[in-house]
Amino acid sequence: MRLVKAKQSAFDGDINFLNICRRKENRNSIGELFPGVGKAKCQTLASRGINTAKQLLAYEGGDPCVKHSWKAIVQKHCDTLESELAHLQSRCDSALTDLDMHISIFGDVSAAAAAPTANQTAIQVINEKPPRFSSLRDPVGFNCRMVSRQTTNRIHMSDFQRRLLLQQGKMRCVKCRT
């Protein structure tokens, strides 16, 4: 439910190009919005009076400084948001349907005075997170596996040392033999 609301607000909201310009000033920012539309392009759009993404999508002018590819990048971002929103909404609806079916089959097992409503229970089911680390003997362990210190030392002293020259040669693009 929380993810659906966040994605819905991102889809309904508008993105200001000046905010993107500030975020893209640092060249170390990776995965920012609108890849391919950088700081200078955002400033160009703002100087032409196009301050938001929705204004760019609605822009029909013939200004040669405003490229159609920029519009395509923004449209692709909007389409991606819309498909993610539809996927999350369908997952939420199916979870609520499963919960209603479970309640209709098994009845309300939590008949206490302060029993949560169906929506609250669905939110708890959807927002459940996996445990931080799986146990060592867990057959479906998915978070972490531990090895002993001796195993780590053995790997470092034997396997790693044997492959060190090969790895360095690959990094230098130099032919080597093992």
Model confidence, pTM: 0.52
Q: Where are the domains of the chain?
A: 2-126, 148-178
The answer, yes or no, to whether residue 44 has pLDDT greater than 60, is yes
* Three-state secondary-structure class, residue 16: strand
Measured distance CA(56)–CA(38) in Å, rounded: 15
Q: What are phi and psi of 148, to 5 degrees?
A: -70, 165
Is residue 143 within 8 Å of residue 131, measured between CB atoms? yes
Confidence class for position 65, pLDDT limits 50, 70, 90: confident
Q: Output DSSP code: residue 133.
A: S
The answer, yes or no, to whether residue 154 has pLDDT greater than 60, is yes
Beta strands in 46-107 (DSSP E): none
How do residues 28-43 score in pLDDT, each as one tens digit? 666 677 777 888 888 8
The CA angle 85-38-56, to the nearest 5 degrees, is 55
Q: What is the mean pLDDT of residues 119-136?
A: 60
Nearby residues of 43 by Cβ (< 8 Å), 6 or more positions away: 21
